[in-house]
Structure formats: C-alpha cells, structure tokens
Structure 1
Amino acid sequence: MSTATGAPTATARTANSPSPHTDPAAPQPDGAPSPATSAAPVSPASDDRSAHRLRAFGWQARFAVLVLIWGFSFLFIKVGTQGFAPLQVTLGRVAFGALVLLTILAIKRERLPRSARTWGHLAVAAFFLNALPFSLFAYSELTIPSTLAGICNATSPLWGMALSVVALSEDRPTRRRVAGLGIGFLGVLTVLGAWQGFAGTDLTGTAMALGASLSYPIGWIYVRRTLAGAGHSHLSMSSAQLLLATVQLAVVTPLFTSAPTGYPIVPLLAVFALGALGTGFAFLLQYGLVAEVGPTTAQMVTYFVPVIATAAGVVLLGEQLSWHTPVGALIILFGAALTQSRPRTSTPPTTATASATDRG
C-alpha cells in the first residue's frame, strides 16, 4: 500500500525523512478561511480557531479515507487474482493509476518531465516502487491470506532503516532505532510462528510479500540519491513513473501469461479499484496530507493499514487468524515506530522529490 502500502508515503525518501518537498502546486496549510467561518463578525482569534478546526477535520477525514483505501488494497489484490493472473492484476493496477494521475496532470496543465536522464532514473524507480512490489504482492496472495500480506507490508520501515544505515551516510543509527529494528523482526518471527517451525505458513508466498516490502525502501533510496531537486512537481514525476511502470508490465506480462479467457465483473472491479483508488487517487490524498500536515503525521498511515487489511480479510474473505498473527503485527508496528524516531535537530534534512508509492 506503503508506505509502505504506501509507505510507504507518497514522498520518495527514506521512511525516516520528516520534512516535505514543497513546490508551487502544493496545497498550502494556511489557506483562506472558508465562507462559513468568515460570514459572521467574530474576533480574529475566534476566526483562526474555527478555521483551524475545519482544516483539522478535513485532513483527519482524508487520512481515514487513505487508511481505508490502502487497507482494502490487499483484499482487492486477493479478489483480482481470483479472475486474472498476478501480472495482469498488476498491469491493470498501474494502468488505471497512471490514467488517474495523467488526467489530473492534463486538467492542471502540467507537463511530464522532458529530460532523458530523469526518465531513465524514473524507469528504475518505477521498477522498484511499482512493478516489482505490486507483482510480488499479487503472486504472494495466491498462497497466503491478504491479512498476512498486509502485515508483511508493515515491515517496510524496518527494511528502510536497515538499508539507510548502509546507503545513506547522514542516517546514523541510534540505540532506540536499532532496538526498534530488532523488535520489528522479532514481530515477523512471531507472525510466522517460528517456534512451531513455521507450520501452516507458506514460506514462498511470505518471502514474496516481505520482498515486496523490501523493494520500497530500495526505490526510495535510489530516488533520493538520483532525483533530489529534479525541479518537477510531485504530480509530474509520479505520473511519468506510473506510465513507465505500465510500459514495463505491458512488455513483460504477455511473455508470462496468456490472454484472459473472460473478464469476470467482480475481479475486474477489484483491479479497477486497486488502480484508480489505491494507486491513483490515494497518491493525490497522500500528497495533500504531506503538504498540509507534514510527512511525519502523514506516514502514520503505515500503522493503521495492517489493522484495516486484517479486518477486511477476516470479515469479508473469511480468512482465519492464529493468535500469534495479530500479536506479531503489534510487535512489528511498535518496532517500526521506534525506527522512525530521530533526535531533534535545528537543521532540516535534505528532501527529495515525490514518487508514486502506496501501501499495498
């Protein structure tokens, strides 16, 4: 989703980066008061408090919608693979997502990047942030429940912290973050029931889901090192990225799958929702949240997505849970939260341009 779904956040930086990249197209947190708050003569302080409450309600509602969309993404994947091959589900997902973003790009009269260098780097980002993890999640859900896939997605901040220590010299580990990394992976072992020899768990499918979660921070780190300060808007870069992911999968999918013999309506609608909502519309929501309340608050979506994914899988798909699955998920989320902590600093860290990522 990441990000993890999303984390994964909609900003293409490591999961630890706390400040957004801004551009002229970004929604501003201090907009003009709405007509409802300015109609009656009130004191400036009262007017400011009313406007603040309205804005707070607005971002909280959008935050909840984003959690629901990314939480249900794992259910949509499961339903989609009941009618189509995993690569076909992924191709439909990125194609519908790209269509949403390209439509918004046209409405706003923005242009795609023109530099060949930028397109080359975005092609790599599209592979690690879209084509590869989306495909791995789709294949994993052939053999594991959507609930487990959603929980595996929550490990993305753990992988991000581990990789950033190696790849990003400015990210130095603290004892708290190292402890969070250890606690998080202890949670993974708990989810898998390691003490009982992983009985009842498909290790191949689980490894694919964990590999998908690992792919996100690889992509984030690559983008941070190659596309920081590229000079294009978040929308322009992400539209190009999803367009490239669509091209990549359009080339690969016919080589490994045959054309669908039919187009069952429920799986088709699931793929459409996965792409248009979970990969297109969700990016716009996440981008707006990052611009309005900052990535530190926006990336808290990561901690709610497994809850929704688990509830959706159990209630709507009838998936079974062992006691250690939700317990392990809580341990993972606690560890991931610790890896996000960093000492306060007076100098804001370097930020990077945004890319299209989501939490599933």
Structure 2
Amino acid sequence: MSTTTGAPTASAATTNTPATTARRTADEHTTAATAAPPASLRTGTGTGTTIPKTTGRARGWPLRFAALSLVWGFSFLFIKVGTQGFAPLQVTLGRVAFGALVLLAIVVMKRDRLPRSPRTWAHLTVAAFFLNALPFSLFAYAELTIPSTLAGICNATSPLWGMALSVVALSEDRPSRRRVAGLGLGFLGVLTVLGAWQGFTGTDLTGTAMALGASLCYAIGWIYVRRTLAGVPHSHLSMSSAQLLLATAQLAVVTPLFTTAPTHYPIIPLLAVFALGALGTGFAFLIQYGLVAEIGPTTAQMVTYFIPVIATAAGVALLHEQLSWNTPVGALIVLAGAALTQSKPRPSTPPLPRPGSPTD
C-alpha cells in the first residue's frame, strides 16, 4: 500500500503502501504508491528526492511504526468491506480521492507547491497509473473472489517482482547469488500459499492473478520513477499529492464508463473506503516519511514484513476468513525470500594482524 498496499507514490501497502519513500524504505516498493514495495510498497525505486538526514530517534517512533503497520495491514480488510457496497472501481476512486484531499490539505497548510514542469506532470501521470490507479483497482477486483488474507500475502511479492525486473531494466542493479536465492524462495512461498501440490484446488486463479499483477505494477512503477524522476527538486509531499491527484483524475474518467452511479451509500462500506483513502493512502504516507527521517530507511522498511501478518489476522478475526496451514507457512517463506532480495552482503574486513606480526 502498496503499495502497498498503502499508497505508493512517486515521492509507501499494501496492502498490499508513496513511491520515493516506499522504494527508499525497502530496496530500495508504492504507496503509492505509494510504494510497494517494500511487500513491499516498500521495495520500489526511489525518485531521487532527498531523504532528510536522520537527526536521532524520537521516543515516539515505535508507536508510529505500529500505527503504520496496522493501517497498511488493515487496508486489505477495508477493500473487502468497501466492495460489499460499491463497485471495485468506485472503491478505488474513493480511495485515491480521499487520499489526495488529505495530502492537498497539508500542502496548503505547509505552503508547499505542486510541481510546475509539464515533463514532471507527464511522468507522474505514468507513475500514478502504475503505482495507484491500476494496482489499487486490481486489488479491489481481486478481493471480489479471494480472501483479504491472500491479497495481503500477494502484496508481499512486490520486492520479488522488483528484483526480477531490475535485472532487465536497471543495468546498474545486478543481483547477487543471495538475492537470486531470495527470488526463488519467494516464488516457492507463493506456490505454497496457493497449494500448488493440490492443483490450486479452492483458489480462484483469476483473483489471485489480479492480486499478483497489482504487486507487479508496483515494481514496474518504481522502476519507471527511478529512471525518469530521479533528482526532481520537489518535496515528497508535493510529488505524492500531485500523483494522487492524477490518479483521481484517471479513475474519474474511467469509473463512469464501467460502473453505474450508486443509488445508496451504505455506511459501513463508505466508512471503509474513507479509512482506506484518508488513513491508508493519505496519513500513512506522512507517517512513513517521518519514520524514514527519524530512524532511517533500513529500520522503516521493516513495516513491510508486518503488513501480511496484520492483514491475515484482521481477515481471520474480523471477516471470519478460513485459514489453512499452507497460507501462513507460505507467507513466511515469501517474506523470507523478500528479505533476501533486499539484503546486501556485509563488506569484507581484512583480518586483524596477530600480535607481533608486522603491519603496514
């Protein structure tokens, strides 16, 4: 949310969540994001915007870390509840619209400015499609036929897609043996979640493919952002706001063509869509950006590995979704593989000279 599933953006999800922040917090996956990722919203590619220097760990960061994990973990539950009252595209439109309103309000409060360059807006249009409009819609459609728990686990494959695509798209990003092993381990985890040895019995392959495709979108979007928006001199807040605004415009055009306007607005699904947008796609970005500034991207990226756990717990406890043994086992394998793809070998250090031996 992320994606995230959060809200991966070109400057964080989800579910399963902002792109720049998400990429920098997980790979550096989104968000939107944005911002993926990271499961990662979380493992995307950065935009080149600078990350604030860490000035010391504030005492309250564990609470904000937990809040971000909960918000992005619950995003998949919000999607499921939202689609019980509205069409998937309407859920997605509400999500990005509420998220954009939150960020734009903060832009006004902070007297920040949106980008002015037509070139930046053109690239953000593509980023909004791959990091917000398309993956958010795919997750919403997927959850018509698959549990929110499975959607949350599929979101965690984003780092795997990101590493696989970076081999082709980013010549400077050559994988080590450890990362290749992580890629293989991660997809083995996906097969475990789906129960491949049973012939995928009981699994809706179309819905699962949509959820996996959403995670793939995050990886594509992050790589695009890294290649086109690196070094753009705008704040994360400004870029993310513009991106969500563009995603809202895209969905505002498409949604009326494929859905009919709702005749009534059931309160529970409406509140779910509001929470998904305002919290999971708006405030979540601000929390994540603050965490990156305070504790650094390496620690902040760990939120990625809590998202599928929380999504699974929420789906089982609140939606009474069934959970077979292979789902949590496969999820752990996926997360282990994702962690390997993001790991870097420790720099080798020369052995210490023995006592009495000559030194240079």
Please state which band the TM-score falls in when normalised by the shorter chain: 0.7 to 0.9
The alpha-carbon deviation at position 75 of structure 1 amounts to 0.3
Structure 1 position 285 matched with structure 2 position 310: no
Aligned-partner SS, 1:300: helix
Query: Could you say if the C-alpha distance between residues 271 and 4 of structure 1 is closer, same or farther in structure 2, counting changes exceeding 3 Å?
Result: closer
RMSD: 1.9
Letter in 2 for 1:252: V
Tell me the secondary structure at the aligned position of residue 219 of structure 2.
Answer: helix
CA distance in 2 between partners of 1:5 and 1:290 (Å) = 18
Structure 2 match to 1:311: 313
For residues 303-342 of structure 1, the aligned pairs below 5 Å read 303-342=305-344
8 Å contact kept, 2:190–2:330: yes
CA distance in 1, matches of 2:18, 2:66: 16
1:2 aligns to what?
A: 2
TM-score, length basis structure 1: 0.85
Which letter does structure 2 place at the counterpart of 1:265? I
Distance (Å, rounded) in 1 between the aligned partners of 2:184 and 2:91:
34
What residue number does 2:79 align with? 77
Distance 1:243 1:115 in 2: 15
Counterpart AA for 2:207: G
Q: Which residue of 148, 156, 159 maps to 1:157?
A: 159
Counterpart among 108, 111, 128 of residue 110 in structure 2:
108
Question: Residues 27 and 171 (structure 1 numbering): CA distance in 2 closer, same or farther, change over 3 Å?
Answer: closer
CA-to-aligned-CA distance 1:241-291 (integer Å, 9 cap, x gap): 000000000000000000001100000000000000000000001111112
Q: Could you say which residue in structure 1 is the equivalent of 2:195?
A: 193
Letter in 1 for 2:272: A
Asked if 1 retains the 8 angstrom alpha-carbon contact of 2:70 and 2:310, the reply is yes
Name the structure 1 match of 2:124: 122
Q: What's the counterpart of residue 349 of structure 1? A: none
Alignment gaps of 5+ in structure 2: 7-11, 29-42, 349-360
Q: Is 1:16 matched with 2:27?
A: yes
CA distance in 1, matches of 2:55, 2:144: 46
**TM-aligned CA deviation for residue 3 of structure 1:** 4.0
Higher RCO (Cα < 8 Å, 6 or more apart): 1
Q: Distance in 1 between matches of 2:285 and 2:102?
A: 10
Q: Which amino acid aligns with 1:152?
A: C
Task: Pick one of 83, 87, 97 that aligns with 2:89.
Answer: 87
- Asked if the contact 1:3–1:299 (Cα under 8 Å) also holds between the matched residues in 2, the reply is no
Number of residues paired by the alignment? 321
1:30 aligns with 2:55: yes
Which residue of structure 2 aligns with residue 274 of structure 1?
Answer: 276
Q: Residue by residue, what CA displacement relative to the aligned partner does 1:37-87 show, whole Å, maximum 9, x if unpaired? A: xxxxxxxxxxxxxxx5xx1x3111111000000000000000000000000
How far is the alpha carbon of 1:298 from its aligned partner? 1.2
Normalised by the size of structure 2, how large is the TM-score? 0.85
Which of 225, 246, 249 is the matching residue for 1:247? 249
8 Å CA contact 1:5, 1:302 repeated in 2: no
Mapped contact 1:22–1:291 kept (Cα < 8 A): no
Q: Which amino acid aligns with 2:168?
A: V
Q: Relative to structure 1, is the Cα distance of residues 28 and 339 closer, same or farther in structure 2, using a 3 angstrom cutoff?
A: closer
The share of aligned pairs that are identical, in percent, is 83
Q: How does 1:343-358 map to 2 (within 5 A)?
A: 343=345
Contact kept in structure 2, 1:27 and 1:288, CA below 8 Å? no
CA contact (8 A) 2:135 2:217 kept: yes
Task: Determine if contact 1:67/1:305 at 8 Å carries over to the other structure.
Answer: yes
- SS of corresponding position for 1:299: helix
Q: Distance in 2 between matches of 1:166 and 1:267?
A: 41
**CA 166–149 in structure 1, closer or farther in 2 if over 3 Å, else same:** same
CA–CA distance in structure 1, aligned partners of residues 295 and 201 of structure 2 = 43
1:317 counterpart letter in structure 2: L
Q: CA offset at residue 27 of structure 1?
A: 6.1
- Decide which of 189, 211, 214 is 2:213's aligned counterpart: 211
